[in-house]
Amino acid sequence: MKRESLFLSQLVPVGLALVIFFVLSGVLYFEIVFLNRVTFQDIALGLRWSDILVGMTIYLKTSVDFAIFMGNLMDQYPGWRNRVAIESGTAFGNALGSIAILALWILFRNIDWILTITIVIASFVLLKLAEEGLDHAKETDKTFPYWFVNLVTLSDKTLRSINGVSNRFLRYVIPDLSMRLKKNLAFWGLIGSSFLIPFILGLDNFAGYIPVFSLVNVFGFLVGVFAAHMLLNVALFISPRKTTRVVKNPIISLVGSLVFVGLAIYGFIEAFRILFLH
């Protein structure tokens, strides 16, 4: 029974992470092959370790947001079947978000306003997720210093003010996004719910990667991003209890929200650069 439990709880999710990585890398390859046929400037399909390592490094530096989201999901939905659903949803969401923006970038890279609109929308979504990520940060006790409590309170008020304005037009262009998923979701419902937010994060992260494309090969870079996402998944699955305990820490929650804010600000700056300084 213990052997079966180990197989289901660890080996199945870890094996699935590897399979999904190769599937998504294959999808990316054939997407670039297709796009190279319909565009004038081809993307090289060779893999260099330097490009892969750059992609892995940059992704892991911005992985706090995903770790917090993943930890919250695992805490709310324990069990190996739910792990499979969470792994599938988050991996495909993150990758397909990047793949979608890749297609947009290749096809419309000379139409700056289309790319700019996409980046701006994704940045506003990140600010919304940053507000919701402060939930655990607000659960402080007397052991936390006064300045920390004030910082959380100020961050919460500021984000609520900004999101209160942006929600007036965002509700017409994006679905209702929340890190607080509905309870008692079935297998397919959990896949769908765990797909949406990583998809948005993939959109925004890729938008932030655009300046790097003049230095590295896009295909190798994104394979590195997918590989780093897979390794992070594996680490989370190996020790989900420690992960959920860490992400519920108020300090980690605050840091995660600040990462969201930082990515959003970077997105706004990148949008301005593309539209006015390109």
Average pLDDT of every residue of the chain: 76
Nearest Cα residue to 205 out of 111, 87, 126 = 126
- Both tokens assigned to 85: 């659903």
Task: Give the residue carrying structure tokens 């607000």.
Answer: 138
Widest CA span in the chain: 63
Burial class (CB in 10 A: 0-12, 13-18, 19+), 153: middle
- Please report, rounded to a whole number, the percentage of residues in the chain having pLDDT higher than 70: 73
- Both tokens assigned to 126: 């990140």
Within the chain, how many helices (H) and strands (E) appear? 11, 0
* pLDDT of res. 26: 92
Contact between residue 230 and residue 17 where contact means Cβ atoms under 8 Å apart = yes
Dihedral of alpha carbons 259, 260, 262, 266, sign:
positive
Hey, where are the domains in the chain? 2-277
* Rounded distance between C-alpha atoms, residue 73 and residue 220, angstroms: 30
* Per-range mean pLDDT, top range of 2-6, 23-27, 171-175: 23-27
Residue 4 has pLDDT above 60, yes or no: no
